[in-house]
Amino acid sequence: MKLTPEPATLQLRTTFRIAHGASDQRHNVLAHLDEGVGEGAAVPYHGETQAGLLADLARAAASLETADPLRIDDCLAGLPPLTPAARAAVDIALHDVWGQRLGQPLYRLFGLNPAAAPETSFTIAIDEPEAMAARARDSGWPILKIKVGTEADEARLRAIRAATPARLRVDANAGWTREQAAHLIPRLAEFGLELVEQPLPREDREGLRWLKAQNLGLPIFADESVKTARDVAALAGAVDGVVIKLMKTGGLREALRAIHTARALGLQVMLSCMVESSVGVTAAAHLAPLCDLVDLDGPLLIANDPYAGVRYEGARLILPDRPGLGVLRR
């Protein structure tokens, strides 16, 4: 097989601001593997960059030249050490080749029913309370994920709740201390929230355990604290649910292991994404029927998606029925 990396600069429709910074572009990579394609989205807190992903994929190419793409685990085991996002790009491309050569969409090869996928949320990035409320109202979306993590969080949620009856989830992106989280979560619960995502720094697993023990009235999900199935197991009893992203797990193979591990431990699963094109998000969407919650709005946030794949009917995910990922170059 021939692996060809391609840089992909994604232009965001609006400035995307979270607790730790803002951006108007995301610098991803596409991995072309014979007829298949994958995507890697650099995760800053993993120390990843577009240049690093391109270098990783260039190193991975030699190990795939004579590999059998239908032996996916063997192909992945033969890769040199890669960052999770680079590994995800190769893993997704291998699954795309697998499905195309067998003539079936991935969800069918996984034995899943795409109609069983939960509806996806839509993300409202940090801004002034009035601007966030207007964006929430104008989106018309029935499920919203609200980015928080600053001193104005309560004012933001009050404005948003006054503007929309949508189901609300909040994501602090590790922006609170233990004390801030314990103070804010009961107050924010008054706005009818469904859950709180990653309230504490990603390394503070004991803080998450302590926070859950406070019984603050909202389920707590871990995102940045979770990469692989091993991390899921370490968080048993510390949180109510985990957020699975292909860019953290290193692709679909490990994402499946992480989902099944969470299920065995009684944890809920939210399937999510970084800011990714339709390549990465469509790959994840093939696993959506296995999950309780979905946050796969990446293509809705970018203006120059290079591929067409998963579609949205309101908040419903409509998976393509073409073989493999089912994505098409625009």
Catalytic sites, residue numbers: 147, 171, 197, 223, 245
The phi, psi pair for 78, rounded to 5°, reads: -85, 0
The residue among 20, 291, 310, 328 whose CA lies nearest residue 149 is 20
Determine the Cα–Cα distance for residues 132 and 42; give it in Å rounded to an integer.
26
Q: How many CB atoms lie within 10 A of CB 42?
A: 22
The phi, psi pair for 25, rounded to 5°, reads: -140, 155
Residue 264 has which token pair? 């065995």
Determine the Cα–Cα distance for residues 308 and 251; give it in Å rounded to an integer.
20
Q: What end-to-end distance do the CA atoms of the chain give, in Å?
A: 24
Task: Give the list of residues 6+ apart from residue 102 with CB closer than 8 angstroms, or none.
Answer: 70, 109, 323
